[in-house]
Structure 1
């Protein structure tokens, strides 16, 4: 069964002077997907979105929407809806007039226009603000109106350029939930640009991780988090503890490693590195189990250390444990007992070999 591809980028490249800001970007985005472009500032995510929108032209490669080549096609001919970081509402127009603006440009009959505006205001749960002006709304309400304005034209593709970054944490979370509900309810193909890893993991069917204009990995949120293709992807997504070390042995049972602090560790064969390779060794805080006594569980990495400090963060508690020269962060579900761990207390840490990520250090082969 063939897939319905709404967006395709083929070997897209963009330069500003001698600086290559997007290099050899390839992706197919299926109908109804929500795909996030994720990366630090300057990685090329917004530049790529602007090429898809028609605000910039690629220097190389092809860009297709619904199978039609879009190179050179102006933005207003691409059937797009776009929501920006700033709300971009007309302050002198009512909310109804703001939402209806794109329909008015398309000369949609008044009765149909009214029905479509009312429908989309219902979708964003703001039917009661139609006659108000933007200055009379909160920031979250204004951004929902910006989303309604993008959806009312029934676009083939919805482009979201960091639409939540100007909101406070609580409102950002609420609007994120609302956007996911809308995207799934309407089924519009969506590209979401963000530097916020949690937003990308929450919103997306797939994530494109970019760094310095290059695609580091394209995958599901689960794959990006649990099967990172590079050290950059692993460290950019979520927290992780890092140690330096060397591969001592590789056999059918996995990897045997030794950290530069003399700690012997084990990893699985997912990590494609050979004996003698100097490596960075990572384990995520939530993959580590903390015990107050030495239980001696078999088949796991086990070290002992001293509690430096604990931080209660509501649903979970973070505990910093001094292990040799390293401070190991452990994230645990909060209980009264775990929150009461005392500074200086000896504890034992365990984690499984499959939760160890190993990447060759710079200048090392695999």
Structure 2
């Protein structure tokens, strides 16, 4: 079965002066996909979204929507809906009038406007606020109305520019759930810009990780988290413990390493090439570490001895900080597992599987 491509970026580049903010961006987005652009501030994600929306023009490359080249085509000719970080609702208009605004500009008949506004307000679960004004709604309700206004025109492409960033944690979580439900229910192709890794992992079919205008990796949330293409991707997505060390030996895909604290560890090369005595950074995620109170080194190729410095109960799990030589490693223990006796000063042993270790070459004098 052939794929239906809704959006395609071909060697897109954008400069502001001499600063290249988006460089050689290539991407195909299939119909119905939810794609997230993820990265730190200044990585080029919003600039790319604004080029897709028609607010900015690429300096190089081609932008296609449904197979048609969009370079130079104004935003209002692109059949898209956009939701901004700020709600951008008209304060002097009722919610009904705000949502209906785009339909009126398109000269849709009054009866059809009334029906489409009713349906989209039901979709975002706010049919009862049609006669209110924006100031009478909570932040979460206003953002849902902004989404309704974008959806009411039945766009072929929905663009979301950090729509949850101005909400408190609880509202952000609720609206994140709502966005996922809406996207799956409607099936509209969606591009979501965020710097929040959890939002991207939760909402996306695929994630584009950007840094300094360049694409670091494109993949499913599982691949991005479990098969990072670079050290930047690994450290930006999720939490990870880093131990500086040195490569002792490389045999095929298996590496033998020594940390600066003096521990010998094993790890897979994952297709990367290393040389003997090369300085490396060794990573293992907190949830991949098993914490035991007895020395069972014979059972594990990767075991280190440490001292508990701090424990924090966080509901679903307890987080422990364990000093290992000169490093402090974070360990997450699921609630319900035995954690008695894990008080500050306790001696413990940390174990993990070699396949859960990621190794990257260190640069220069980086520790």
Q: TM-score, normalised by structure 1?
A: 0.97
Report the Cα distance in structure 1 between the residues aligned to 2:38 and 2:157, rounded to whole angstroms: 18
Report the Cα distance in structure 2 between the residues aligned to 1:188 and 1:80, rounded to whole angstroms: 10
| Cα deviation digits, residues 225-267 of structure 1 (max 9, x gap) | 0000100000001111111112111224711111122110000
Report the Cα distance in structure 1 between the residues aligned to 2:3 and 2:271, rounded to whole angstroms: 33
Which residue is 1:138 aligned to?
138
Question: After superposition, where does 1:176-195 map in structure 2 within 5 Å?
Answer: 176-195=176-195
Question: After superposition, where does 1:134-283 map in structure 2 within 5 Å?
Answer: 134-252=134-252, 254-270=254-270, 272-276=272-276, 277-283=278-284
Which residue is 2:308 aligned to?
307
Which residue is 2:33 aligned to?
33
Moved more, 192-201 or 339-348: 339-348
Which residue is 1:355 aligned to?
356
Unpaired runs of 5+ in structure 1? none
Other structure's SS at 1:193 match:
strand
Report the Cα distance in structure 2 between the residues aligned to 1:333 and 1:297, rounded to whole angstroms: 25
Other structure's SS at 1:267 match:
strand
Question: After superposition, where does 1:12-51 map in structure 2 within 5 Å?
Answer: 12-51=12-51
Which residue is 2:87 aligned to?
87
What is the aligned residue count?
364
Other structure's SS at 1:314 match:
coil
RMSD in angstroms over aligned alpha carbons? 1.3
1:317, 1:339 within 8 Å by CA — same for their partners in 2?
A: no
| Cα deviation digits, residues 11-48 of structure 1 (max 9, x gap) | 00000000000000000000000000000000000000
Report the Cα distance in structure 2 between the residues aligned to 1:142 and 1:340, rounded to whole angstroms: 48
Deviation at 1:330, TM superposition (A): 0.4
Report the Cα distance in structure 1 between the residues aligned to 2:284 and 2:206, rounded to whole angstroms: 23
Q: CA 1:307–1:299 in structure 2 vs 1: closer, same or farther (change >3 Å)?
A: closer
Report the Cα distance in structure 2 between the residues aligned to 1:335 and 1:199, rounded to whole angstroms: 27
Other structure's SS at 1:108 match:
coil
Report the Cα distance in structure 1 between the residues aligned to 2:241 and 2:47, rounded to whole angstroms: 32
Query: Deviation above 6 Å: which 4+ runs of structure 1?
Result: none
Deviation at 1:335, TM superposition (A): 3.5
Report the Cα distance in structure 1 between the residues aligned to 2:352 and 2:298, rounded to whole angstroms: 10
Question: After superposition, where does 1:281-296 map in structure 2 within 5 Å?
Answer: 281-296=282-297
Deviation at 1:363, TM superposition (A): 5.2
Report the Cα distance in structure 1 between the residues aligned to 2:164 and 2:333, rounded to whole angstroms: 29
Q: CA 1:299–1:270 in structure 2 vs 1: closer, same or farther (change >3 Å)?
A: farther
Deviation at 1:270, TM superposition (A): 1.4
Other structure's SS at 2:339 match:
helix
Which residue is 2:69 aligned to?
69
1:271, 1:358 within 8 Å by CA — same for their partners in 2?
A: no
Which residue is 2:98 aligned to?
98
1:271, 1:357 within 8 Å by CA — same for their partners in 2?
A: no
Q: TM-score, normalised by structure 2?
A: 0.97
Which residue is 1:124 aligned to?
124
1:12, 1:26 within 8 Å by CA — same for their partners in 2?
A: yes
Report the Cα distance in structure 2 between the residues aligned to 1:344 and 1:335, rounded to whole angstroms: 22
Q: CA 1:108–1:339 in structure 2 vs 1: closer, same or farther (change >3 Å)?
A: farther
1:12, 1:59 within 8 Å by CA — same for their partners in 2?
A: yes
Q: CA 1:140–1:58 in structure 2 vs 1: closer, same or farther (change >3 Å)?
A: same
2:288, 2:352 within 8 Å by CA — same for their partners in 1?
A: yes
| Cα deviation digits, residues 63-109 of structure 1 (max 9, x gap) | 00000000000000000100000000001111011000000000111
Report the Cα distance in structure 2 between the residues aligned to 1:252 and 1:24, rounded to whole angstroms: 34
2:253, 2:271 within 8 Å by CA — same for their partners in 1?
A: no
1:7, 1:29 within 8 Å by CA — same for their partners in 2?
A: yes
Deviation at 1:318, TM superposition (A): 0.7
Report the Cα distance in structure 1 between the residues aligned to 2:26 and 2:115, rounded to whole angstroms: 39
2:302, 2:353 within 8 Å by CA — same for their partners in 1?
A: yes
